[in-house]
């Protein structure tokens, strides 16, 4: 999450290692903003080859990452600040409310509190936290708990070490997505939904200046759209991927509201319907838990956000204004990057801009 601290670093690298591709951005910190020095996105899967999730070994990341560093002319041993991220089912984020505790007691108390809320065993848990606010009347604290497994962190660290990068801050994906938005936009009131549509899953984050923080994964992403096109049109993977990029959602995917997002039989639902259904369920849960339904906007990030017709479809189904987020909006950019607005880099930019 964005913290109101002075940002002390001069340059920063944000590294987003996704299951399908690696995104890296190199920023320079100016007095009141950031300048984009360079950026790169590269697939970790051979072009035209259909990815099989169970076969995606982490070993394929290191050569790609090493090549990216060379292309961007970044010498690993000279990197002074790098922020990377982890995510998935072995990470958990939850905002809780607890009684006020002084700093010297808070960390140990929250570790025991976390066991009540987070589904990771104590011996395997790595925990961090951030105090969002303290209520004036009750003195209760609102705290975000973030956890990951030691195994996952060690695997991530091993990957960075294999290309001679000394790991820096390791953030959680959902927090980096929120940072990308919070550090780029002036947000005063209301609740915003950030939907990061990745290759094999989507990450949903609900964020607002005074709103309760919420994050969850949704089990559908860009690959599911491609798979759907393959099956419906009898295409191979490469053909379907090209068709998806050119045509996006087809007319027949947009059904009347009476087709409902609450039908019990989901076997014939499209990927767009399944994603909308899960977002809708999550919004209902959030309203019940947080007592806040002031949803101002849904912002799509990630590679899947570029799917033609998806913002319009979600806006129609969810009745909330929906648009593709431009993470480069408030960056100073050299002329060669002037038109850059790719939502695929939202997470990497959120990492690079993370305060100390």
pLDDT at position 116 over 80: no
Specify the pLDDT at position 103. Answer: 82
What DSSP element (H or E) covers 288? Answer: helix 271-290
Rounded to whole angstroms, what are the CA distances from 137 to 31, 97, 221, 226? 37, 14, 43, 52
Residue in the structure block whose two tokens are 């570790």: 111
Rounded to whole angstroms, what are the CA distances from 272 to 29, 80, 145, 181, 285? 38, 42, 31, 24, 20
Q: What is the 3-state secondary structure (H, E, C) of 92-157?
A: EEEEEEECCCCHHHHHHHHHHHHHHHCCCCCCCEEEEEEEEEECCCCCCEEEEEEEEEHHHHHHHH
Q: Which of 71, 73, 63 is nearest to 43 (CA)?
A: 63
- Beta-strand ranges (E) seen in the chain are 11-17, 21-29, 34-43, 82-86, 91-98, 125-134, 141-149, 169-172, 191-197, 202-207, 214-218, 295-301, 322-324
- 44-48, 71-75, 244-248, range with the lowest pLDDT: 44-48
- 75-89, 142-156, 240-254, range with the lowest pLDDT: 240-254
Percent of the chain with pLDDT over 70: 90
Q: Which of 7, 6, 8, 4 is nearest to 133 (CA)?
A: 4
Tell me the two tokens of residue 46. 């051979």
Q: Residue 118: pLDDT band by 50, 70, 90 thresholds?
A: confident
What is the CA 142 to chain-centroid distance, rounded? 22
d(CA 242, CA 225): 12
Quickly count: other Cβ atoms within 10 Å of residue 115's Cβ.
15
Specify the pLDDT at position 15. Answer: 98
pLDDT at position 311 over 60: yes
Q: What is the pLDDT of residues 63-95, one digit of tens each?
A: 999 999 999 999 999 999 999 999 988 898 989
Q: Are 41 and 345 in contact (CB under 8 A)?
A: yes
Residues 6+ apart with CB under 8 A from 130: 1, 3, 143, 144, 146
**For the chain, first and last CA: distance in Å?**
11
d(CA 103, CA 221): 40
> Taking all residues of the chain, what is their mean pLDDT, rounded to a whole number?
88
Q: Are 111 and 127 in contact (CB under 8 A)?
A: yes
Residue 86 phi/psi, 5-degree rounding, is -130, 160
Specify the pLDDT at position 82. Answer: 97
Rounded to whole angstroms, what are the CA distances from 4 to 7, 8, 11, 199? 9, 12, 19, 33
Mean pLDDT of the 249-253 span: 58
Mean pLDDT of the 286-312 span: 95
Q: Residue 291: pLDDT band by 50, 70, 90 thresholds?
A: very high
Query: Hey, what CATH topology would domain 186-326 get?
Result: Nucleotidyltransferase; domain 5 (3.30.420)
Q: Residue 54: pLDDT band by 50, 70, 90 thresholds?
A: low
Specify the pLDDT at position 90. Answer: 86
Tell me the two tokens of residue 273. 């319907």
On whether the pTM is more than 0.85, the answer is: yes
């Amino acid at each position: 999450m964005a913290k109101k601290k002075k940002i002390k670093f001069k340059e920063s690298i944000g590294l987003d290692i996704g299951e399908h591709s690696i995104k890296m951005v190199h920023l320079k910190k100016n007095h009141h903003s950031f300048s984009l020095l360079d950026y790169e996105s590269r697939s970790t899967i051979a072009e035209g080859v259909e990815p099989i999730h169970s076969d995606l070994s982490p070993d394929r990341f290191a050569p790609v990452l090493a090549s990216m560093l060379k292309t961007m002319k970044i010498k690993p041993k000279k990197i002074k600040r790098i922020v990377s991220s982890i995510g998935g089912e072995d990470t958990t984020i939850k905002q809780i409310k607890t009684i006020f505790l002084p700093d010297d007691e808070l960390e140990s108390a929250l570790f025991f509190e976390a066991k009540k809320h987070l589904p990771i065993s104590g011996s395997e848990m790595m925990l961090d936290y951030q105090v969002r606010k303290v209520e004036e009347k009750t003195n209760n604290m609102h705290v975000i708990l973030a956890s990951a497994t030691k195994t996952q962190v060690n695997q991530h660290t091993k990957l960075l070490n294999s290309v001679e990068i000394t790991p820096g801050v390791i953030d959680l994906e959902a927090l980096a997505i929120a940072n990308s938005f919070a550090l780029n936009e002036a947000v005063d009131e209301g609740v915003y939904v950030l939907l990061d549509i990745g290759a094999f899953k989507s990450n949903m984050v609900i964020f607002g200046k005074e709103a309760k923080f919420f994050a969850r994964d949704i089990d559908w992403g860009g690959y599911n759209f491609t798979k759907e096109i393959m099956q419906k049109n009898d295409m191979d993977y490469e053909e379907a991927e090209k068709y998806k990029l050119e045509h996006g959602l087809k007319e027949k995917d947009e059904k009347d509201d009476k087709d409902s997002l609450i039908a019990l039989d989901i076997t014939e639902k499209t990927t767009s319907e399944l994603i909308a259904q899960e977002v809708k369920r999550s919004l209902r849960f959030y309203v019940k838990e947080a007592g806040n339904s002031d949803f101002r906007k849904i912002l799509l990030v990630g590679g899947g956000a570029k799917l033609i017709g998806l913002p319009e479809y979600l806006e129609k189904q969810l009745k909330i204004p929906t648009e593709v987020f431009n993470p480069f909006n408030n960056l100073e950019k050299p002329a060669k990057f002037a038109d850059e607005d790719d939502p695929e880099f939202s997470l990497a930019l959120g990492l690079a801009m993370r305060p100390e």
